[in-house]
């Protein structure tokens, strides 16, 4: 039986992928920080006919070293020290200008989105190597293609993750472990609603924020449903030799093309016009 640890399973891609893989016959360890939300996972499983026995909810706060250690220990004990895949889906961001962000705020984003991913991977890598045909899946972002003002720390974590994945892929491939990066565009996963706004009353950027925030919020109307993207994530995890990078959504495909073939100055002007941050 294929086994997988999925982080951030209480909503969005994490919840859908957990249920889809359980329906395909995987044993899924669906981890989440707030296990009170597991009922939504169970409801979705019932609705699509995924066996409840194939889903085990595991408490995991990816920003906590102790929680990561305990979750990894539990999963490795349950799988007998062998694991087919880990999907790093958990993550969040702040909405605010970098100068306004307290140190503890951006440290927590870094711990959740980057350090937690690395640490958890290191803890389960022996089990992935033991499988001989395993996957390390990482959900990245279109933020590596398009400048994301007011999301600078989030963008930093995703750039760092992609660089880490490219190097890690070479290190673990001889052991039959493939690294796969999923780069989603704008999808209706509830991610935007979970952002943490930071705008102090004395901020020098208040006028810019008042112009930009309504425009950024309005982008939500262009989001796509997440079902097809979640299905593709499952298909890639099931492939014998998956590609390093999978783009999810037409907007990510277009943005990645622009990032490759157009200068930063042009992409900057596009974002400035879109957000009203051009001065």
Catalytic residues: 154
Partners of 224 in the β-ladder: 187
- Within 10 angstroms of residue 105's Cβ, the number of other Cβ atoms is 15
User: Rounded to an integer, what distance in angstroms lies between the CA atom of residue 3 and that of residue 192?
Assistant: 30
User: Rounded to an integer, what distance in angstroms lies between the CA atom of residue 101 and that of residue 197?
Assistant: 10
User: Rounded to an integer, what distance in angstroms lies between the CA atom of residue 87 and that of residue 179?
Assistant: 10
User: Rounded to an integer, what distance in angstroms lies between the CA atom of residue 166 and that of residue 143?
Assistant: 17
User: Rounded to an integer, what distance in angstroms lies between the CA atom of residue 143 and that of residue 149?
Assistant: 10
Nearest residue to 93 via CA among 153, 180, 182: 153
Instruction: Take residue 17 and report the two structure tokens written for it.
Output: 């992928």
- Cβ atoms 32, 11 nearer than 8 A: no
Nearest residue to 270 via CA among 171, 148, 126: 148
How buried is residue 243: exposed, middle or buried, by Cβ count under 10 Å (0-12/13-18/19+)?
exposed
- Cβ atoms 25, 53 nearer than 8 A: no
């Amino acid at each position: 039986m294929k086994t997988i640890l999925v982080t951030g399973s209480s909503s969005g891609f994490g919840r859908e992928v957990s249920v889809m893989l359980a329906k395909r016959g995987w044993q899924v360890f669906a981890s989440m920080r707030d296990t009170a939300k597991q009922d939504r996972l169970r409801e979705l499983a019932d609705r699509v006919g995924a066996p409840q026995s194939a889903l085990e909810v595991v408490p995991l706060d990816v920003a906590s070293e102790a929680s990561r250690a305990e979750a990894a220990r539990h999963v490795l004990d349950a799988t007998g020290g062998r694991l087919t895949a880990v999907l790093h889906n958990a993550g969040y961001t702040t909405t605010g200008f970098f100068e306004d962000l307290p140190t503890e705020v951006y440290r927590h984003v870094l711990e959740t989105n980057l350090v937690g991913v690395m640490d958890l991977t290191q803890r389960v890598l022996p089990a992935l190597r033991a499988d001989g045909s395993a996957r390390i899946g990482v959900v990245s972002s279109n933020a590596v293609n398009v400048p994301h003002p007011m999301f600078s720390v989030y963008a930093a974590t995703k750039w760092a993750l992609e660089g880490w994945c490219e190097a890690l892929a070479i290190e673990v491939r001889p052991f039959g472990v493939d690294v796969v990066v999923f780069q989603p565009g704008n999808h209706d996963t509830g991610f935007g609603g979970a952002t943490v706004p930071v705008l102090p009353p004395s901020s020098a950027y208040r006028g810019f924020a008042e112009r930009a925030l309504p425009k950024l919020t309005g982008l939500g109307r262009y989001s796509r449903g997440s079902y097809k993207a979640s299905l593709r994530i499952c298909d890639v995890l099931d492939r014998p030799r998956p590609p390093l990078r999978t783009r999810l959504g037409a907007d990510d495909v277009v943005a990645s093309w622009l990032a490759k073939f157009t200068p930063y100055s042009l992409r900057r002007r596009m974002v400035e016009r879109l957000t009203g941050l051009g001065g």
